[in-house]
Amino acid sequence: MYPKPLKPLHNNRNVRNQADVALVKHRDTERFMASNDSSALNPLQRKLRRELPAAIADVLLPALTWRISKHRATISVSNPLWREVFDQYASKLCQQTVESSGRQLTVLSPDPLENSHDKRKRTFKEFLTDPGNQFALATCRSICDAPGMLHNPLYIYGPPGVGKSHLISAIVHHFHQSLGNESAVYWSGREFVDTIVHQLAQRDQGSLHPTLQQASLIAVDDLEEIGDRAVAQEELYLLINHALEMGQQLVFGSRLPPRRIAHIEDRVSTRLSWGLCIGIDPPANETKSRFLRSVAGSFADDLSSNEISNLLRNYGNDMHHVLELGKRLATGERPEFDTPRASFDRILATVADSLGIRAGDIAGKGRQRQLVQARQASLLLGRLLTNHSLVALGGMVGGRDHSTVLHSLRQAQLRIDEDAQFAAWINDLQQEILSGH
């Protein structure tokens, strides 16, 4: 079952891009500087400038981001190196000054291991349970107890952020812990297509052959990457057949069920479906709320249930975005709801580039299927990511009227509900637009 992340149409979803975050920080600073609370922060900055050695103040102060609320002052240090300098020269002074104003001081800095965390070390214990993933979780545990015997292959699919990769990683981790690192191999779909397929084609002469012979588990995530790739599908087909003959457990993860992968051969989709295919539904709002509060920690304590719901509705499209939202809250940031997160020109350019057409063609009068699809996607994303009215959006795609735009939006939403591949494409476009790449 693919997500319905884009309904209702007026909701904003994803975490905004870097320019928007910078804008929010600028507004927060202006709002703070104009408030009665600014006297607690400005003297602190001046005090650090005055009492720190000039050489330290000149380089340390620009590395600090300041936020303040009624009961808390938060200082974010840009990296672990400057955190050491801050702790040595400024921590005690800041603590004394902030506490004298009746506030609590929190100092944040990035975890140097956060970006290098190996997702293969995720475990079942850390998995966030939800009504939509209970069956998948129970099945993954069962194949750890009897690999190759119950559900082989096991194929897990669902929209981004529902826990597919975590479950596959937990299976791999269980095998590594129980049987040693040689007992399981784990590839991403991109890794499989780009490098593993070539090694598999070498058959017994390749360096990969001994690794596969020792493995009790073979796992491939993001399997939709094999769409439109005949050689990758051929090697996957042969790999599945060989693994089943050897009694090795196979586990696959994908956004799409086997038959929905683009231009997949019938024989490959049939092999993938031989065991058990499990779809995971998007998590319930209660699960998202629980996860958000756990990531944000004490910074979410002063948020009401309604405020949490509004934040999730605007920024919690999936659990990846809930995680990013939680990290933002944990720095003391309070995202706003009304700031547009992308320009419509950016949306048109991204959609056009995705389909290999010109942005001007989308606003034209052409009725070819590809242009209609591009127009519907652009209007839908424009409704999600900008503050433009239906009339304004119509004006930017060739002067179309309100009713025509509304019809396009309804058709796009209907197609999202019925076509998982189209829904995945819209989601990918959304992330690309917001990433600024």
What are 127-150's pLDDT values in tens digits? 999 998 999 999 999 999 888 888
| E strand or H helix that includes residue 276 | strand 276-279
- The DSSP secondary-structure symbol of 14 reads S
Q: How far apart are CA 400 and CA 404, in angstroms?
A: 6
Tokens of 312: 């999730």
Q: What is the pLDDT of residues 176-188, one digit of tens each?
A: 998 888 899 999 9
| 31 vs 419: which has the higher pLDDT | 419
Superfamily of domain 43-112: DnaA, N-terminal domain (3.30.300.180)
Q: How far apart are CA 265 and CA 146, in angstroms?
A: 30
Of 365, 403, 12, nearest to 393 (Cα)? 403
Q: What is the pLDDT of residue 7?
A: 38
Q: How far apart are CA 35 and CA 385, in angstroms?
A: 31
Of 331, 338, 347, nearest to 431 (Cα)? 347
Query: Would you list the domain boundaries of the chain?
Result: 43-112, 124-279, 285-331, 344-436
pLDDT of 198 higher than 80 = yes
Per the listing, tokens 């009068």 go with 365
Q: What is the pLDDT of residues 315-328, one digit of tens each?
A: 777 788 888 888 88
Average pLDDT rounded to a whole number, residues 248-268: 92
Average pLDDT rounded to a whole number, residues 193-200: 88
Res. 280 pLDDT band, cuts 50 70 90? very high
Res. 15 pLDDT band, cuts 50 70 90? very low
Q: What is the pLDDT of residue 206?
A: 66
pLDDT of 265 higher than 50 = yes
Query: Is the separation of the CB atoms in 390 and 403 below 8 Å?
Result: no
Question: Which of 153-157, 189-193, 274-278, 401-405 is predicted with the least confidence, judged by mean pLDDT?
Answer: 401-405
Of 9, 118, 28, nearest to 76 (Cα)? 28
Q: What is the pLDDT of residue 422?
A: 86
| 431 vs 250: which has the higher pLDDT | 250
Cα–Cα distances (Å) from 25 to 297, 332, 431, in that order, read: 21, 10, 22
Res. 271 pLDDT band, cuts 50 70 90? very high
| 436 vs 338: which has the higher pLDDT | 436
Cα–Cα distances (Å) from 323 to 103, 110, 427, in that order, read: 27, 15, 17
CB atoms within 10 A of CB 300: 18
Burial of 222 (0-12, 13-18, 19+ CB in 10 A): buried
Of 270, 14, 288, nearest to 133 (Cα)? 288
Superfamily of domain 344-436: DnaA protein, C-terminal DNA-binding domain (1.10.1750.10)
Query: Is the separation of the CB atoms in 260 and 420 below 8 Å?
Result: yes
pTM value is 0.60
Average pLDDT rounded to a whole number, residues 250-258: 93
* β-sheet bridge partners, residue 68: 73
Sheet with 104-108, strands from edge to edge, namely 64-68, 72-77, 104-108
* β-sheet bridge partners, residue 73: 68, 105
Tell me what percent of the residues of the chain surpass a pLDDT of 70.
84
Fold of 124-279: Rossmann fold (3.40.50)
Q: What is the pLDDT of residues 71-121, one digit of tens each?
A: 777 787 877 777 888 888 888 888 888 888 788 777 877 655 444 344 446
Average pLDDT rounded to a whole number, residues 152-180: 92
Question: Which of 33-47, 53-67, 171-185, 410-424 is predicted with the least confidence, judged by mean pLDDT?
Answer: 33-47
Q: How far apart are CA 262 and CA 435, in angstroms?
A: 25
Give me the chain's average pLDDT, please: 80
Res. 436 pLDDT band, cuts 50 70 90? low
| 237 vs 6: which has the higher pLDDT | 237
- The DSSP secondary-structure symbol of 400 reads -
